Amino acid sequence: MMEISPEVKALSAEMTSLRRDLHAHPELGFQEVRTAGIIAKRLTGLGYTVRTGLGKTGVTGLLRGGKPGKTVLLRADIDALPIREEAVVPWRSETAGVMHACGHDAHTAMGLAAAAILAKEAPSLAGDLFFVFQPAEELLIGAEAMLEDGALEGVRADAAFAIHVMNRWPTGTVAICDGAAMTSADKLTLTITGRGGHGASPHLAIDPIVASAQIITALQTLVSRETPPLSTAVLSLTTLKAGTAFNIIPDAVEMTGTLRCFDAALREKLLASLRRTAEGLAASLRCTARVESQFLTPALRNDPAVTAVARQVAAMIVGESRVVAAEPLTGSDDVAYFFQKVPGCYAFVGSAKPEWSSAPASHNAKFDIDESALEIGADFLVRAARAALLPR
Ligand SMILES: [Zn+2]
Ligand SMILES: [Zn+2]
Q: Which residues surround ligand 1, an ion (CB under 5 A)?
A: 102
**276 pLDDT higher than 80:** yes
How many Å lie between the centroid of ligand 1 and the Cα of residue 102? 5
Q: Residue range 63-92: average pLDDT? A: 96
Average pLDDT value for residue range 232-261: 98
Active-site residue, 137 included: yes
Is pLDDT above 90 for 173? yes
- Expressed in angstroms, the distance from the first to the final Cα of the chain is 28
**What is the CA(250)–ligand 1 centre distance, in A?**
35
Domain boundaries, given as residue ranges, for the chain = 6-182+299-389, 184-297
79, 186, 371, 375: the active-site residue: 79
Strand partners for 165: 349
Is there a contact between 74 and 157 (Cβ–Cβ < 8 Å)? Answer: no
Distance CA 40, CA 381 (A): 19
Length of the chain in terms of residues written: 392
Dist. CA 332 → ligand 2 center (Å)? 9
pLDDT digits (tens, 9 = 90+) for 317-358: 999 999 999 999 999 999 999 999 999 999 999 999 989 989
Statement: 6-182+299-389 belongs to CATH 3.40.50.720: no
- What's the CATH number for 184-297? 3.30.70.360
Q: What is the pLDDT of residue 52?
A: 98
Active-site residue, from 27, 128, 137, 158: 137
How far is ligand 1, taken at its centre, from the CA of residue 118, in Å? 27
pLDDT of residue 391: 77
* Angle, helix 208-226 to helix 264-284, in steps of 10 degrees: 150
Q: Alpha helix locations (H) across 227-369?
A: 264-284, 304-318, 336-341
pTM, to two decimals: 0.94
Instruction: State residue 2's pLDDT score.
Output: 86
Q: Give the confidence band of 188 by pLDDT, cuts at 50, 70, 90.
A: very high
State how beta strands 174-176 and 323-325 pair: parallel
Please report the pLDDT score of residue 392 as a whole number: 63
CA of 24 to the centre of ligand 2 (A): 17
Model confidence at 294: pLDDT above 90? yes
SS3 246: coil
Packing angle of the helix pair 304-318, 373-389 (nearest 10 deg): 130
Distance 205 CA to ligand 2 centre (A): 45
* Active site (annotated) includes residue 79: yes
Residue 62 pLDDT greater than 90, yes or no = yes
* pLDDT mean over 144-166: 97
Ligand with minimal distance to 346 CA: 2
| Residue 109 confidence (pLDDT) | 98
Residues 6+ apart with CB under 8 A from 163: 76, 107, 110, 346, 347, 348, 349, 377, 380, 381
For ligand 1, the distance from its centroid to the CA atom of residue 330, given in whole angstroms, is: 13
Cα(241) to ligand 2 centroid in Å equals 28
Q: Rounded to the nearest whole angstrom, what is the distance from the C-alpha of residue 223 to the centroid of ligand 1?
A: 24
Q: How far is the CA of 7 from the centre of ligand 2 (A)?
A: 26
pLDDT (0 to 100) of residue 15:
98
- Residue 313 in contact with residue 380, Cβ under 8 Å? yes
Q: How far is the CA of 144 from the centre of ligand 2 (A)?
A: 16
Ligand minimally distant from the alpha carbon of residue 364 = 1
Q: Would you place residue 83 in the very low, low, confident or very high pLDDT band (cuts 50, 70, 90)?
A: very high
Tell me the average pLDDT of the chain.
97
Give the 3-state secondary structure of residue 380.
Answer: helix
- The dihedral built from the CA positions of residue 373, 378, 380 and 381, taken in this order, carries a sign that is positive
pLDDT tens-place string over residues 20-39: 999 999 999 999 999 999 99
